[in-house]
């Protein structure tokens, strides 16, 4: 599992982009920072 708690931005993105692949967004946030 991806630790969403460490990615508040990714969590916010989930709320705004429910149609987008959430796991890809979180991974993108993790690698971005």
- Over residues 1-33, the pLDDT tens digits come to 555 555 666 555 555 555 556 677 777 777 765
Judge whether 32 and 9 are in contact, CB under 8 Å.
Answer: no
Residue 31: predicted pLDDT: 72
Residue 1: predicted pLDDT: 56
Residue 16: predicted pLDDT: 56
CA atoms within 13 A on the CB side of 21: 4
Range of the domain at 28: 1-33
Residue tagged 């967004």 (tokens): 25
Residue 27: predicted pLDDT: 74
Residue 8: predicted pLDDT: 61
Judge whether 24 and 2 are in contact, CB under 8 Å.
Answer: no
12: its two tokens? 């916010």
Residue 9: predicted pLDDT: 64
* Number of structural domains the chain divides into: 1
């Amino acid at each position: 599992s991806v630790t969403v708690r460490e990615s508040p931005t990714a969590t916010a993105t989930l709320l705004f982009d429910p149609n987008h692949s959430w796991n890809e967004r979180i991974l993108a946030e993790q690698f971005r920072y």
